[in-house]
Copies of this chain bind each other. A is one copy, B any other.
């Protein structure tokens, strides 16, 4: 109960797992380190140290805004990663100190989940060499505990969908087909869904509204397009809860 150094004083960052859906599988947005260091081509989750005047949500919004240009993206804090071992790799620490021009001994991170339409044009961010989508099943080994963070985010997204079903539409174009929606659910739950039962369920959900429009440029029967109606959704949620 005395020495100045037994308590953790540290830097705190946010890291964002941004999901996108390419009509087949979930993808995660990764950035390429731009450190002018050898062996620094690694991919990692986008993130940032938190600024003095910010809270963690604001920092995450800032990171996401840099990537997408969207001011207030849908996001959700989901877990803090605090192991002293997460800055065990000297190369990671070297990159950190280069990128932030600060000596960094210990770093904890607060991880965020976010969702983005995969066709959206992304900004180029000075801090990084490039950014790109990566299928969740083909993730490279990443620095820090970023692989573990993605792992846990995959469980979190299911809980999130159950709590707030509307978030899935952030992953789809504004007009989408029933099979796109079904494949998205299959990707999130990693489980095949019965086509007919799914159809029945969608029919019964009033905030998923069928349009008088169909797909174009497909080499088979064109499917009907649907849209998500946020107003109807909010009404429904208000009556249930």
Contacts and interface: CB of A to CB of B under 8 A. Distances in A.
Interface in A11-57: 11-12, 49-57
B51 A6 contact: yes
A20 to B, nearest CB: 25
Question: What number of copies of this chain does the assembly contain?
Answer: 2
A80 interface: yes
A216 interface: no
Interface in A100-133: 100-102, 106, 108, 110
B82 A79 contact: no
Interface string A139-160: 0000000000000000000010
Nearest to A2: B101
Nearest to A51: B6
Given A12-B82, A56-B80, A100 B49 contact: no
A78 to B, nearest CB: 9
Given A9-B11, A53-B84, A77-B80, 12 more contacts: A1-B101, A6-B52, A7-B52, A9-B10, A12-B12, A12-B108, A52-B84, A55-B83, A55-B84, A56-B108, A77-B79, A159-B159
A-B pairs with lowest CB-CB distance, top 9: A56-B82, A7-B49, A8-B50, A55-B82, A55-B83, A80-B80, A80-B110, A6-B51, A8-B52
Interface of A: 1-2, 4-12, 49-57, 77, 79-80, 82-84, 100-102, 106, 108, 110, 159, 163
